[in-house]
Copies of this chain bind each other. A is one copy, B any other.
């Protein structure tokens, strides 16, 4: 198995993303991925330990890239509310721009239960980002003091994921990013008349 992230490594990873998102990890076969990548079945084993490892590397890689962007987006915000808006917008943008990733995170991430501990879990990192933002918001006085942060951050992440999930189910037929501000408005002021 080669160490460096050669061009072929990337091609295989992308093909795997396409095949996993179309058929689901378990119904996807090595042959399908190899065919799409334009290589022989055996070649995959020069770059990956096994089928699980392909999914693992895919998720690790995407997680790292996306999370880097999210952190960058949040840093640009001047106050808690702005940071929250930038984070949610970035989240929706990234998933809209990479539908395969969206589908895979949605449906397969949980398969990796056992090896999850090794992954820089995107949920964990995301929730930490949210904690920071909420705590800052409380200090600024922009968010209520009596919030149970542990619940609020789950509430926020759950809602974004729910919105993405619907979009995926709808085959991505509408613009996801335009949901960002209405969604944040709901977080901030709720549905009450």
CB of A77 closer than 8 Å to a CB of B: no
CB of A42 closer than 8 Å to a CB of B: no
Contact B161 A162 (CB under 8 A): yes
Contact of A186 among B137, B155, B182 (CB under 8 A): B155
Interface string of A149-193 (1 = CB under 8 A from B): 001101111111111011000000000000100110011111111
The closest CB in chain B to the CB of A165 belongs to: B158
Chain B residues with Cβ below 8 Å from A187 are 190-191
Cα-based distance from A187 to B159 in the complex (angstroms)? 11
- Place the interface of chain A in its size category: 35 or more
Cα-based distance from A142 to B186 in the complex (angstroms)? 15
CB of A107 closer than 8 Å to a CB of B: yes
Contact B166 A162 (CB under 8 A): no
Chain B residues with Cβ below 8 Å from A193 are 137-138, 141-145
Name which of A106, A158, A183, A192 has the most chain B CB atoms within 10 A of its CB: A158
Contact A186 B152 (CB under 8 A): yes
Q: A113-B24, A188-B191 are in contact. Are A162 and B157 (CB under 8 A)?
A: yes
Interface string of A23-53 (1 = CB under 8 A from B): 0101000000000000000000000000000
Contact of A110 among B106, B156, B183 (CB under 8 A): B106
Q: A24-B111, A111-B24 are in contact. Are A183 and B151 (CB under 8 A)?
A: yes
A-side interface residues toward B, CB under 8 Å?
Answer: 24, 26, 106-107, 110-111, 113, 134, 137-138, 141-145, 147-148, 151-152, 154-163, 165-166, 179, 182-183, 186-193
Starting from the known contacts A134-B191, A158-B163, A187-B191, 20 additional A-B residue pairs (CB-CB under 8 Å) come to A24-B113, A26-B111, A137-B193, A142-B193, A144-B193, A145-B193, A151-B179, A151-B182, A151-B186, A154-B163, A154-B165, A155-B163, A155-B183, A156-B159, A158-B159, A158-B162, A158-B165, A159-B162, A188-B191, A188-B192
